[in-house]
């Protein structure tokens, strides 16, 4: 059995459950660890080894995490791989530099695996795993319930940012002052917004994504 036959066999047998849950966005999703745990016994049965690694690369003025998922045939030494990139977020409220890089690394690795194994997460608000990090620093006179809510909203915000960047939506320029005024917001800078304002901004971003997706479907129907 060649490497590609083994890959097909693994793709068919792989069942990676969405065991993670975001209570703010109200969706289930899978992270990189979920995929790897499901893969281990299947790779063993097929005499194959899966490796996942990443490195920082600079493209223009921004840094990206380049992740490589590689499947190696133990018997023949043949390999097949897939590469995915994730960009470090400009906004990093509640996270230091190492945590931003770690979250980006997890996101890139997951999508390298998705491409290699034909896993479709496009319906996830996502994958959002992208910014699953520690809760933001505690604020004075704020109840623990609000802190948890802020952490979930921040996660959802980061996920929406990544979804817009994946689609090539220039959201920083598309949301002009008129749109922000209607939403009663004077900025997109999350460091200047409270939890309630951040929720409103997330709703605006989600509407922008939905509008973009609808336009893409319309273009496909016309062709």
pLDDT value, residue 86: 82
What strand order describes the sheet that includes 79-87? 48-59, 62-73, 79-87
3: CB partners within 8 A, 6+ apart = 48, 71, 72, 73, 76, 78, 79, 80
Weakly modelled stretches of the chain, pLDDT under 70: 24-25, 88-100, 121-150, 174, 176-178, 220-223
The rounded distance, in Å, linking the Cα atoms of 149 and 196 is 10
| The total number of structural domains that make up the chain | 1
At which residue do the structure tokens 């802190």 appear? 147
Q: Tell me: the pLDDT tens digits for 121-135?
A: 654 544 444 444 434
Q: Where in the sequence is the domain holding 126, given as residue range(s)? A: 3-222
The rounded distance, in Å, linking the Cα atoms of 91 and 168 is 18
Residue 22's beta-bridge partner residues? Answer: 27
**147 touches 166 (CB < 8 A):** no
**27 touches 124 (CB < 8 A):** yes
């Amino acid at each position: 059995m060649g490497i590609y036959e083994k890959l097909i066999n693994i793709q068919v047998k792989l069942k990676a459950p969405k065991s993670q849950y975001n209570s703010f966005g109200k969706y289930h999703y899978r992270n990189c660890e979920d995929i790897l745990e499901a893969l281990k016994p299947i790779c063993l049965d097929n005499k194959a080894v899966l490796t996942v690694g990443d490195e920082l690369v600079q493209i223009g003025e921004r840094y990206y995490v380049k992740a490589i998922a590689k499947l190696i045939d133990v018997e023949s030494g043949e390999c097949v791989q897939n590469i995915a990139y994730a960009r470090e977020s400009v906004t990093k409220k509640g996270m230091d530099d190492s945590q931003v890089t770690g979250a980006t690394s997890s996101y890139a690795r997951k999508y390298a695996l998705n491409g290699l194994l034909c896993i479709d997460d496009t319906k996830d608000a996502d994958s959002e795993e992208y910014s699953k990090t520690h809760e933001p620093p505690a604020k004075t006179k704020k109840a623990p319930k609000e802190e948890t809510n802020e952490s979930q909203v921040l996660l959802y915000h980061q996920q929406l940012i990544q979804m817009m960047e994946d689609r090539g939506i220039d959201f920083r320029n598309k949301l002009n002052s008129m749109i922000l005024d209607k939403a009663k917001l004077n900025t997109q800078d999350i460091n200047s917004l409270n939890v309630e304002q951040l929720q409103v901004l997330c709703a605006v971003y989600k509407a922008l994504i939905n509008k973009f997706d609808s336009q893409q479907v319309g273009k496909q129907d016309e062709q």
